[in-house]
Each structure stands twice: as structure tokens, then as C-alpha cells.
């Protein structure tokens, strides 16, 4: 199949459009397809993904002769993108139509990703799924907490209901730490590294009062006054952004907090970043922290 895609200066956006075109093509050319699932459903729902060209997953009604097929590379895009035909039990009620495409609903999409993607990737999908369903406001946290408690219970119950499905231990671990209060994919992966390293659970967007006002670090451990900020490039588009961030860091430091800054490049070396995070804590916390095997899977 062929698609006439508009030229775009944004490489990520262009590859995103290619992925959507692949989803449409797969649905039209696989007669037994019931709908999209996993990363491709997440793509259509607008959830966070680690890259703009995920594999295309189809729920099918019969056992496929070939479960995975390598798709052609488009332009300078990602090589090795797969079309996956998956025969999984999904009730018809769990399919919804988004922009004309049949996809698993947001919660079911999160569950499937928790089972079948590495934890470093699925945490992005689960966080953004809960964020989409909760619509949290950091300044009206109590309302979002109530919605989150209900949705998180549903997520954990749905993971448990899958029984002995492959990836169950990993899925339970990722579902347990999923949160709607992560505000970017980078924050989600940073939190995954902290949790996989064995650090205590962080509080997301914890309000911290300082002499310069109230600030909301991405990750915080109030007991030890340790905070982590993930710095994406879009965060600093103006010179004033740098000054505001310096003022923020100075205020947190003056209030007795230790701030660790993380950028995208750090996420490519999880073990090294994990060691840097451990170094920010007292020795007894670092010594008692043990890697969590199911989160490294």
C-alpha cells in the first residue's frame, strides 16, 4: 500500500505519520484483524512511546502462520519495525474507535503493554494512560488522587485477571508503580531507573515550600530531602527559562534539598544513572537498596 504523506520539518512528527499509515495499512490488509493493540493502540490514543515508529500489533481471530513480519523501512526511519499478529483474548467491548480505527481501550492497551513490553518502555505507556484518564492538576491533587485510586485499582485487578500470561511478574511490578502525576516520558523512565535500582518509592510533583515560593520537583523523597528534575530540551526555549530554573534550584538547595538533574542522554545508561541517584542518599539507604529483577526485564 502507498501513502502520500506531507513533507514535514519535524522528523519525529513525520515518523509518527508513517506509523499511523502503517496501522491503517495493516488493518486493511489482514482479513482476520479485529483491531490494533499494544504500542500501535497507544500510538492512536496519543499515549507516550519511547520512539515514534513502534511495532504494529493486530488482534486476530485465528492462529497466524507467521506471527511477526518485518516491515519495509520508510525513508531514514527505524529499521526492524514488525507487524505482529496476536491471538489474545480481548472482549469486543474493550475495543473502541479512535479516528476511524478500531483499537483496544486505553486501560486494556496499558495492560497489554505492561505484559509484553520491557518495563523501561511500558512505564511510559502506563503513566500516560493514567494521566489521560485522570487529568491531574498538581494544585488540586486531592481530586486527582481520588480518581487515581479507583483507576489504579482497576489496572492492578486487570493485570491480576490475566493469570499466568507470560510477563506477569513484570506487569505486576510496572502496574504497581504507574502514576498519572508523571509529566513527561523522560520523568517516567527516570522513575523506572530509580525503582529498578531499588530506591524507595518517589513522590511525584511533591509541593516543596521555599523562601522563593512553592516548587514541584519531578521526583522527591521528602524523608531524605532528595529531589530529581528531568530536563528536556523543550524546557529551555528562552533565556528567562534558564534564570527561572537557577532560581528554583537555589531555593531548593537553601531549603536543605539535594537536587539531581537528569537529561535524555543519561537515560541511555540506566546503571550509571542508578548509581548517581544512589549517591544522593545517605549510606544506609544506598546499602539497603537492591535491584528489582522484574523491572530490569
pLDDT at 236 over 60: no
Report the chain's C-alpha Rg in angstroms: 20
pLDDT of residue 202: 96
Choose among 208, 144, 214, 207: nearest CA to 179: 144
Handedness of CA 235, 236, 242, 243 (dihedral sign): negative
Which percentage of the chain shows pLDDT scores above 70? 95
The model's pTM is: 0.90
Q: 255: Cβ–Cβ under 8 A, 6 or more apart, which residues?
A: 208, 209, 210, 211, 225
Instruction: Give the pLDDT band of residue 35 (cuts 50, 70, 90).
Output: very high
Say if residues 83 and 56 touch (Cβ distance below 8 Å): yes
Instruction: Give the pLDDT band of residue 252 (cuts 50, 70, 90).
Output: confident
pLDDT at 234 over 60: no
Higher pLDDT, 81 or 139: 81
pLDDT at 41 over 70: yes
Burial 231-244 (b: 16+ CB within 10 A, else e): eeeeeeeeeeeeee
**Secondary structure class of 242 (helix, strand, coil):** helix
Say if residues 52 and 23 touch (Cβ distance below 8 Å): no
pLDDT, tens digit, for every residue of 84-137?
999 888 999 999 999 999 999 999 999 999 999 999 999 999 999 999 999 998
Amino acid at each position: 500500500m502507498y501513502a502520500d504523506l506531507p513533507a514535514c520539518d519535524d522528523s519525529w512528527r513525520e515518523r509518527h505519520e508513517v506509523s499511523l499509515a502503517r496501522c491503517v495499512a495493516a488493518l486493511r490488509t489482514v482479513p482476520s484483524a479485529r483491531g490494533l493493540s499494544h504500542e500501535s493502540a497507544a500510538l492512536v490514543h496519543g499515549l507516550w512511546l519511547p520512539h515514534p515508529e513502534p511495532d504494529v500489533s493486530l488482534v486476530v481471530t485465528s492462529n497466524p502462520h507467521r506471527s511477526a513480519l518485518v516491515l519495509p523501512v520508510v525513508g531514514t526511519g527505524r529499521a526492524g519495525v514488525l507487524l505482529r499478529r496476536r491471538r489474545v483474548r480481548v472482549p469486543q467491548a474493550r475495543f473502541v474507535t479512535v479516528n476511524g480505527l478500531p483499537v483496544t481501550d486505553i486501560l486494556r492497551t496499558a495492560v497489554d503493554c505492561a505484559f509484553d513490553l520491557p518495563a523501561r518502555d511500558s512505564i511510559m505507556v502506563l503513566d500516560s494512560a493514567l494521566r489521560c484518564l485522570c487529568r491531574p492538576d498538581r494544585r488540586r491533587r486531592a481530586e486527582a488522587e481520588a480518581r487515581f485510586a479507583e483507576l489504579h485499582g482497576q489496572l492492578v485487578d486487570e493485570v491480576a485477571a490475566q493469570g499466568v500470561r507470560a510477563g506477569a511478574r513484570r506487569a505486576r511490578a510496572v502496574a504497581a508503580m504507574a502514576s498519572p502525576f508523571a509529566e513527561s516520558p523522560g520523568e517516567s523512565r527516570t522513575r523506572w531507573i530509580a525503582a529498578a535500582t531499588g530506591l524507595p518509592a518517589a513522590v511525584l510533583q511533591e509541593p516543596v515550600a521555599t523562601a522563593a515560593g512553592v516548587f514541584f520537583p519531578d521526583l522527591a523523597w521528602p524523608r531524605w530531602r532528595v529531589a530529581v528534575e528531568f530536563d528536556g530540551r523543550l524546557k529551555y526555549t528562552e533565556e528567562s527559562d534558564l534564570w527561572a530554573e537557577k532560581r528554583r534550584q537555589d531555593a531548593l538547595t537553601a531549603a536543605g534539598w539535594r537536587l539531581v538533574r537528569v537529561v535524555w542522554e543519561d537515560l541511555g545508561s540506566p546503571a550509571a544513572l542508578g548509581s548517581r541517584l544512589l549517591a544522593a542518599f545517605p549510606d544506609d539507604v544506598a546499602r539497603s537498596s537492591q535491584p528489582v529483577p522484574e523491572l530490569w526485564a
